[in-house]
Amino acid sequence: MSPESIEVLISLLFPLVLLIGTYLIGTLLERRHFTDLRAREEHFRGFPAITFENLPAGWEATSSDVVQGSVVVSLDYFKRFIAALRALVGGRVKSYEPLLDRARREANLRMIEDATSRGFHAVINVRLETSRMASARGDGKGTAGIEILAYGTAIRLASPPS
Amino acid sequence: MRFTPRLPRDGINVSQEHPLKEATVLIVGLGAVFALLFILLVWLVDIVLLLVPAEAEARVFSSWDLSSLEVLSDDSRQAPVQELVERLAAHWPESPYEFRVEIMPGDEANAMALPGGLILVTEGLLDQVETENELALVMGHELGHFKHRDHIRRLGRVTVLTIGAAVVSSSAARVSLADTVGNLATRSFGRDDEREADRFGLELVQAEFGHVAGAWKFFERLDASALGIDRVAAYLSTHPGNRDRIDDLRALAAARGWPLDGEPVSLALGLR
């Protein structure tokens, strides 16, 4: 085998190994995160985090404050590769969907955890915001990650829900 | 109003398709489509370029800018090689090209046919050929590429690949696969092209010297030294330098009744 063909083989193999490796790691992390999300969502199931701007009728707030939860996510190599291929033909970028779903749910949970740890009973006027974080490389044209921010008005009720 | 606690539902915002399924469909599908497009495009470019008459090609590329190529512009070895090429080309009177030989620096033995009748020869090749007959076959081989216009077809292939790689890499995965595969595909002319070029080269050698003795000695030496010396690796990387090639030449000489015995002509003074 000539040194040249070894070079070619390495340049072909390296991306392939990277793809397989990041797929395996990414899948494992994603599965674990979804399990964790479901458990915590089950735990906070009874905690109202709602999008009403005003207090629902019958609720009486004694105090309030802003609560927020924020998550920064980035893509793994495998997802990026698939999305790049997808971008050639267009269509639903399925490889991004679980990632963004995880990020939204995680941000929401962190906001709720912020509220419960400070003794609030509910969060109203919940909003989600997304912003792109520019990468330092390539004159800021690339994307380093996405931040998902969940925030709302936490309220302490005069008569807490049972 | 009552607050009814519910869990977020899975599977609304996340598609349930397995990511590997999407990956497979995309990779196989796109690969097939692009391979097909590539073949189609190369085929079209081949046709278009071959429709361009050799005279027009010679005209367009006569002003080929050599500044991007490192050539030794006033090397004393240029004249004898040029003279040999012209003597060989005289046996191909209908040639539309005005051949121009340029010497490239470097120990590696190699020769290349470029559009417009430009033949590049490395210093390494001139160092390693021992008789004029050997050099004549190498030069005749390159003339054979002009005869069959292989160089023009390679130009088409390289153009398509370069454009393709640029399009893909600017919008999608920055994996160097495109470059790699591209380089592999265009490194050399096809095997059949090489054989045809060899045959034409030998024909010129026979016409010039009246025999083919010693013409493929250079290839034999390449073959023998291929394992040890990497100086010849360059020539081998763009030319198939194996037994098949020599056997084919031998068979051709036998079939045409070209004499295998004769006195090889020693190299011109400037090349010795």
Write down the ipTM of this complex: 0.73
Cβ <8 Å between B8 and A12: no
- Which chain B residue has its CA at the smallest distance from A10's CA? B180
Looking at residue B174, its pLDDT comes to: 43
Looking at residue B13, its pLDDT comes to: 84
Q: Which helix (H) or strand (E) holds A66?
A: strand A61-73
Residue A103 lies in a domain: yes
Task: Give me the residue spans of the domains in chain B.
Answer: 52-271
pLDDT in tens, B9-25: 777 888 888 888 988 99
Residue A54 lies in a domain: yes
Residue A136 lies in a domain: yes
pLDDT > 70 fraction of chain B, expressed in percent and rounded: 79
> Phi and psi (nearest 5°) for B100?
-135, 125
Rounded distance between C-alpha atoms, residue B220 and residue B173, angstroms: 44
Residue A26 CB neighbours (<10 A):
19
Amino acid at B45: V
- Reported confidence tier of residue B44, pLDDT bands at 50, 70, 90: confident
pLDDT in tens, B52-110: 887 887 777 776 666 666 777 778 888 899 999 999 999 998 888 889 898 888 887 88
pLDDT > 90 fraction of chain A, expressed in percent and rounded: 55
Q: Cα angle vertex B34, ends B30, B38, to 5°?
A: 175
A97 touches chain B (CB under 8 A): yes
| Domains identified in chain A, total number | 1
A47 pLDDT more than 70: yes
Domain that holds residue A151: 3-157
The stretch B232-238 carries a mean pLDDT of 59
B169 pLDDT more than 50: yes
Show the DSSP H helices in chain A as ranges: 3-43, 77-89, 97-117
DSSP state of A127: E
Q: Tell me the chain B residues in contact with residue A47 when contact means C-beta distances shorter than 8 Å.
A: 5
Q: Tell me the chain A residues in contact with residue B180 when contact means C-beta distances shorter than 8 Å.
A: 8, 11-12
pLDDT in tens, B189-228: 667 788 889 999 999 999 999 998 888 888 888 766 654 4
Looking at residue B185, its pLDDT comes to: 43
Q: Cα angle vertex A145, ends A140, A146, to 5°?
A: 115
Q: Which helix (H) or strand (E) holds A62?
A: strand A61-73
State the smallest CA–CA distance between residue A45 and chain B in angstroms: 6
The stretch B119-124 carries a mean pLDDT of 88
B130 pLDDT more than 80: yes
B173 pLDDT more than 60: no
Q: For residue B119, what are the β-bridge partners? A: B101, B113
Cβ <8 Å between A97 and B15: yes
CB pairs under 8 A between A and B: 80
Cβ <8 Å between B7 and A97: no
Q: Tell me the chain A residues in contact with residue B15 when contact means C-beta distances shorter than 8 Å.
A: 92, 94, 97
B178 pLDDT more than 60: no
Cβ <8 Å between A45 and B14: no
Helix axes B78-89, B191-209, angle to 10 degrees: 90
pLDDT in tens, A74-95: 888 899 889 988 988 898 888 8
State the smallest CA–CA distance between residue B105 and chain A in angstroms: 21
A162 touches chain B (CB under 8 A): no
How much is the mean pLDDT over chain B?
79
Q: What is the CATH number of the domain that holds A28?
A: 3.30.110.70
A9-13, A29-33, A86-90, A127-131, range with the lowest pLDDT: A9-13
